[in-house]
Amino acid sequence: VKSNLEEFKESLKEIYKSRYPQILKALETQKPTTFRINLTKSTNRNIIKDLEQKGFKIKKGPIDNSYIIYHFPAKTYISDTTSFKEGFIYVQELSSMLPPTILAPKPGEIIIDMAAAPGSKTTQLADFAQNKAYIIALEKHPLRIEILRHNVKLQGAEKVKIIPADGIKYDKKNPELENYFDKVLVDAPCSSEGSFYLKDPKTYSFWKIKKRREMSSIQKGLLISGYRMLKPKGSMVYSTCTFGVEENELVLEWFLERYPEAIIKEITLPVNNTMNGIISWNNKSLNKKISKSKRILPNELFTGFFLALIEKP
C-alpha cells in the first residue's frame, strides 16, 4: 500500500513533470516569516525602524508592501511586538498577498469576499482601498468567524460587514445581489497542498487524494455563486493554495462550460516563479482560456498557489 506521502509525490510529478525536483525541494524548505504593513492604520509610524530597534532584521519582499524577517531577536516572536499587537502589521505568506493585489480594489467599490476567515485578504483588500471600499465578508464556520472578527477589528478595517453564511447559497438567498458587486474574491477552501512542509508530517498527515474531489465541489459552488453576484465588467479572483488540477484548472473548466462568455484575464505579477494554468490533462484538452490562469510555484520564499482573474462581459 502506498503511503499518502508517496501518493502525493507521484501526483506532483504528473503535474509538474520536469519541474518536479525543484517543487519537491521547495516543499522541503521552511519559508521565512513575512508580513505586510497596515498602511491605513500605521500612518506616520516607522514600523520597520521600530522592529529593527527590537532586534528584528528585515528586508523588503518581492511584492509591494511585503517584508521578510530574516533574523529574530532571542526568545521573541513577532506576536510579542507592539506593531503586531496594535495591528500595524499583518503576518501573511507572500503568495497569500497576491489575490488582493491583482483584484486591486479602489475606494468606493463594493466587494464580496466569499470565504473570508481568518481575514488576511479581507483586511488586505480594505487597506488597499484605503478603508474606503465596502466589503462583505462571508464565512461559514462559527469559530473561524470569531477569528475573522478579531482580525478585522484589530486591523481597523472599516466598512467591512462580516456575515456568517454559506457562500454557496448566498446568491440564491439574496437574489437582489445578482450583478451587484464590483469585485469578488473566492479564496476557496482547499486541500492546502501548497503549504505542506514535508519535513513536518503534521502539515500533511490529514491529506488524502480524495480530498481534492471533495474540495472541488465546494469550490465550484462558491465560484458560480460569486460570479452570479459580480457586475458586468466587474472582476473576480479565484484562488487556492493547492496543487491538484481538480481544485484549480478543472474547476475553471467546469465553470467555463456553464459560463462560456466569462473572460479569463492575463495576470501581471511582480514575481516570476509562475507557470501558466495547465490546459492538457489526462489526455484531454481543456479550454485554452485556462492557460491565462497562473500557478505560483513554491520556492524558498513562496508557498504554492493558484490564481485566476475572471471578468464578466
Ligand X SMILES: C[S@@+](CC[C@H](N)C(=O)[O-])C[C@H]1O[C@@H](n2cnc3c(N)ncnc32)[C@H](O)[C@@H]1O
Closer to ligand X by Cβ: residue 168 or 252: 168
**Cβ atoms of residues 258 and 213 within 8 Å:** no
Nearest distance, CB of residue 153 and ligand X, angstroms: 15
Q: What sign does the dihedral 285-292-19-102 (CA atoms) show?
A: negative
Cα(first)–Cα(last) distance of the chain, in Å?
Answer: 49
Q: How many residues bind ligand X (CB under 6 A)?
A: 19
Closer to ligand X by Cβ: residue 148 or 286: 148
C-alpha cell of residue 180: 451587484
Question: 250: Cβ–Cβ under 8 A, 6 or more apart, which residues?
Answer: 216, 281, 286
Nearest distance, CB of residue 126 and ligand X, angstroms: 12
Note whether 112 binds ligand X by CB under 6 A: no
Q: Which span (5-13, 16-24, 25-33, 161-169) binds ligand X, by CB under 6 A?
A: 161-169
Cis peptide before 100, with omega less than 30 degrees from 0?
no
Note whether 118 binds ligand X by CB under 6 A: yes
Nearest distance, CB of residue 30 and ligand X, angstroms: 21
Note whether 226 binds ligand X by CB under 6 A: no
- 3-state class (DSSP) for residue 89: strand
**Cβ atoms of residues 293 and 277 within 8 Å:** yes
According to CB under 6 A, which one of 32, 166, 271, 275 is a site residue for ligand X?
166
Closest to 215 (Cα-Cα) out of 255, 184, 244: 244
Note whether 187 binds ligand X by CB under 6 A: yes
Note whether 115 binds ligand X by CB under 6 A: yes
Of residues 269 through 298, those in contact with ligand X by CB under 6 A are none
Give the active site residue among 241, 250, 296, 301: 241
Active site residue 241: yes
- Give the contact letters, 80-109, x = binds to ligand X (CB under 6 A), - = no: ----------------x-------------
C-alpha cell of residue 192: 492546502
Residue type, 117: A
Note whether 116 binds ligand X by CB under 6 A: yes
Pairing type for strands 89-91 and 33-37 reads antiparallel
How far apart (Å, rounded) are the C-alpha atoms in residues 19 and 283? 20
Q: What sign does the dihedral 217-250-300-3 (CA atoms) show?
A: positive
According to CB under 6 A, which one of 89, 97, 157, 218 is a site residue for ligand X?
218
Note whether 144 binds ligand X by CB under 6 A: yes
Residue 259 burial (10 A CB sphere; 0-12, 13-18, 19+): middle
Closest to 49 (Cα-Cα) out of 81, 74, 80, 76: 81
Closer to ligand X by Cβ: residue 93 or 249: 93
Note whether 140 binds ligand X by CB under 6 A: yes
Note whether 120 binds ligand X by CB under 6 A: yes
Note whether 139 binds ligand X by CB under 6 A: yes
Nearest distance, CB of residue 139 and ligand X, angstroms: 5
Provide DSSP, 228-264: HHEEEEEEEEEEES---GGGTHHHHHHHHHH-TTPEE
Name the β-bridge partners of 139: 164
Residue 199 burial (10 A CB sphere; 0-12, 13-18, 19+): exposed
According to CB under 6 A, which one of 61, 105, 156, 189 is a site residue for ligand X?
189
Cβ-proximal residue to ligand X, closest one: 115
Nearest distance, CB of residue 164 and ligand X, angstroms: 9
Nearest distance, CB of residue 227 and ligand X, angstroms: 15
Binding stretches for ligand X (CB under 6 A): 96, 115-121, 138-141, 144, 166-168, 187, 189, 218
- Cite the active site residues: 241
